[in-house]
Structure 1
Amino acid sequence: MSFSRSMDFASFFRRGFSTSTTTRSGVKTGLLMLNMGGPQNAAEVHPFLLRLFSDREIIKLPVQSVLGPWIAKRRAPSIAQKYAEIGGGSPILQWTDKQGKLLCDKLDKICPESGPHKHYVGFRYTPPLTEHALDAMIADGIEHAVAFSQYPQYSCATSGSSFNAIYNYMKNKTDGKMKWSLIDRWGTNRFLAKTFATLIRGELEKCDEVTRKNIVLLFTAHSLPMKAVERGDPYPAEVGATVQLVMEELKFAYPYRLVWQSKVGPLPWLSPATDAAIESYVKRGKKHLMLIPIAFTSEHIETLHELDIEYKELAEKAGVEKLLRCPAPNDNSVFIDALVDVVGKHLGEKRAVPPQYLLRCPMCENQTCGEARAFYKKNAFEFA
């Protein structure tokens, strides 16, 4: 499924990407599924990069209004080539939409008191943009909007920036009918851990006994600048917590490490880097490895190209005998159970704004973070 840049994204939410009636009175709870997004085709690559490198919530550059567009233009051809190598575009929209549909189908059955439910996809940098989704939710007359981060582990650069984007768009809206509750992190959900354990076992079952006996599990997650870590960003600890729960499900039967991928720029980021870890382990005689994208809920450029193409080539050159790759959750049935469990518990707990979200990083310097938290407290949905 692909979409042209000229698509009317109001019609996107009306045609085939909803799970229940779109009459204003027909939807009780709207689930806004938040993520960064990815280009659907080559034409979307430059706008994607332009939004990304112009966003100071993610990347702070000197003279950003000049340098951001310059970097976007310079990098667009090489990034477009990478998308061409994985089929022409990112599948993240298709997976997110399918996850949302399956989620709402189940919620309508097990949580009828909050239904009908309808999902909306809100991406930061590619259509459907967050503002497209918000306009659709307003048009549908949604009264209870659940901002549902699709990043299981919270980071200011991902979940935090998505919540800030909602605030920045909604703060000047005069219609205050739509009220909010937030799902800001869910990396310790047991069904999420079971999902990854199931997927890991599935890959190991395809292997010979020698590989299973010698395998090293490398849990790989998108890296983060050390400046963010030093401000108190909770992301590294939360990714580590997910890894521990997955290994509990696997009864700690295999050696494992957490490594970091997708560093951008020359400044220090979380380490060890995934590629460096692969090379180092080979030198130490560990030549049977599995890469597990522990912070990603669907396949996209970081899995399909970075893991499957770039790291595979690196591993072959380094002398890896067997490089396995655990698939992302996508529409795995246990993962859908995780989404249902996360949202169902959120609705059942009747707590609109989690206390952990309200606590800013100890060294936070982003004024918008404070303003956004005040917005959600003021516009919190009142559970019956």
Structure 2
Amino acid sequence: MLRNFTRQLSVSAKRLGNGTGTADVKNGKGTAIVFMNMGGPSTVPETRDFLFRLFSDNDLIPLGPFQNILAKFITWRRTPMIEKYYARIGGGSPIRKWSEFQAKKACERLDEISPNTAPHKPYVAFRYAHPLTEETLKQLLDDGITRAVAFSQYPQFSYSTTASSINDLYRLSKVHDPNGQIKWSIIDRWPQHPCLINTFANHINDALLKFPEEIRKNVVIQFSAHSLPMDIINRGDSYPAEVSATVYAVMQKLKFSNPYRLTWQSQVGPKPWLGAQTEKTSQRLVKFDSVPGIVIVPIAFTSDHIETLHEIDIELKEAVENPEKVVRCESLNGDPLFHQGLADLVKDHLESGKLYSKQLPLDYNLGSVTAKNVFKHPDEFFGDRSKK
């Protein structure tokens, strides 16, 4: 199935939104759907700039008053190694092509199921890689967009990820759209939406089939999510609870067929990060005679990127004693069930009339401790700013 959808990805190489309905959007009709994520370098030479933007982001990795200096140093130290990682997985991150493909498919279905808000035009806005938020915002304005949904592709909210993208959009909008041409709303979390739960459950079942039937029920399902510094978690960040909610909902869908654990990956630097660590836990599990195998599930990611293709598929398997016992379930990537569910999610959001979730104001109260030039309440940005 993945190969069939990969052949369709060439369509996404063209600039998004050149198809039917573009003229209507430019005339102020229709809705822009903006997929927001951290992104990744599409080519190896883009790695340095990507890392510098990432380590410069105080919302994601707070490094104190010397953030910019430390970001330059860390980038200098890590770039050669990370470039080798991207070269090893094919010369760059696939997250852009998957994001563009998923956005396109979701908008195609939205045109069918939500004619009142059609046409729907897909965009992608990345925090640290091209197309950057600023580039996409300028394109939205050039296209004459007046109604847009910011759709976070972090299913589980964190101030360090989702809010960082929101903050970036807010700051740039003050510069490029001070009069509020674009009326925004946001899908800021969706940790238990059926499109996420059902697709992951299907992919886990597919992965379990790779083990002999007589041992299958004892295979451990190890969910893995990107870790965060404890500095952020200790502010009351909702991320751990929402990731756990996703895990539990998936296991409910699977009728708790197997033992499972949630672990955390991608820690960087000497500061304490949320654990237990995925790699260390896997190393322990494969040694137990009672564990015939492990299915690794990248539960906080909507597509493949370096954390799945290198950190799990290569680094983790090289680190464990019995790599044949480890299987990673397929990411959401080109699954049509997932794309259809994304469209359903956006349709529900548009019909609800809500501009953001009930939790978002509290997220900002607790999370914006060190953030600069951000709103105090979401009402300051979302909705009709021309009337404020």
The two structures have a TM-score, normalised by structure 2, of 0.90
In the other structure, the counterpart of 1:160 is 163
User: Partner of 1:171: helix, strand, or coil?
Assistant: helix
Match of 2:46 in 1: 44
Any idea what SS the aligned residue of 1:231 has? coil
Q: Deviation of residue 321 (structure 1)?
A: 4.7
Within a 5 Å distance, the mapping from 1:138-217 to structure 2 comes to 138-172=141-175, 173-217=177-221
Pair 1:68 & 2:71 matched: yes
- Identify which of 244, 253, 258 aligns with 2:257: 253
Match of 2:303 in 1: 298
Alpha carbons 2:236, 2:367 under 8 Å: kept: yes
Which deviations, in whole Å up to 9, do the C-alpha atoms of 1:120-155 show, x marking residues without a partner?
A: 100011110011111111111111110100010001
Q: Which amino acid aligns with 2:170?
A: Y
Distance 1:45 1:203 in 2: 32
Q: How many angstroms apart in 2 are the aligned matches of 1:114 and 1:242? A: 29
Moved more, 336-345 or 77-86: 336-345
Please point out which of 214, 227, 236 is paired with 1:232.
236
- Looking at structure 1, the residues matched to 154 and 19 of structure 2 have their Cα atoms a distance apart, in angstroms, of 22
Distance 1:198 1:244 in 2: 15
Q: 1:90 aligns with which of 83, 88, 93?
A: 93
Could you say which residue in structure 1 is the equivalent of 2:340?
337
Letter in 1 for 2:15: R
Give the AA of the match of 1:124: R
CA distance in 1, matches of 2:214, 2:386: 55
Evaluate the alpha carbon distance shift between residue 48 and residue 321 of structure 1 in structure 2; reply closer, same or farther with a 3 A threshold: closer
- Whole-Å separation in 2 of the counterparts to 1:78 and 1:124: 22
Q: Pick from 337, 355, 360 the counterpart of residue 357 of structure 1.
A: 360
User: What number of residue pairs does the alignment pair up?
Assistant: 369
Q: CA RMSD in A?
A: 2.1
Residue segments in structure 1 that go unaligned for 5+ positions in a row: 1-11
Q: 1: CA distance between counterparts of 2:386 and 2:313?
A: 43
Q: 1:58 corresponds to which letter in structure 2? A: L
Query: What secondary structure is seen at the aligned counterpart in 1 of 2:286?
Result: helix
Amino acid at match of 2:307: E
Q: Provide closer, same or farther for how the CA distance between residues 104 and 290 of structure 1 changes in structure 2, counting only shifts above 3 A.
A: same
Question: Is the 2:317–2:323 contact (alpha carbons within 8 Å) kept by the matching residues of 1?
Answer: no
Aligned residue type for 2:204: I
Which secondary structure state, in structure 1, belongs to the residue aligned with residue 310 of structure 2? helix
Distance change >3 Å, CA 381–CA 313, structure 1 → 2: farther
Identity %: 45
Residues 167-210 of structure 1, C-alpha deviations (whole Å, 9 max, x = no match): 01001333422111110000110221010000011112233124
* d(CA) in 2 for partners of 1:381, 1:241: 37
In the superposition, relative to structure 1, how do residues 331 and 163 fare at CA in structure 2: closer, same or farther (>3 Å)?
Answer: same
Deviation at 1:268, TM superposition (A): 1.1
Change over 3 Å in CA distance of 1:369–1:191 after alignment to 2: same
Q: Which residue matches 1:122?
A: 125
Match of 2:35 in 1: 33
Q: Give 1:375's aligned residue.
A: 380
Which piece of structure 1 moves more, 165-174 or 231-240?
A: 165-174
Q: Judge conservation of contact 2:61–2:229 (CA < 8 Å) in 1.
A: no
Contact 1:144–1:381 (CA<8 Å) still a contact in 2?
no
Which residue type is aligned with residue 185 of structure 1? R
1:160–1:19 Cα change, 3 Å: farther
Range moving further from structure 2, 77-86 or 271-280: 271-280
Give the drift of 1:61: 2.0
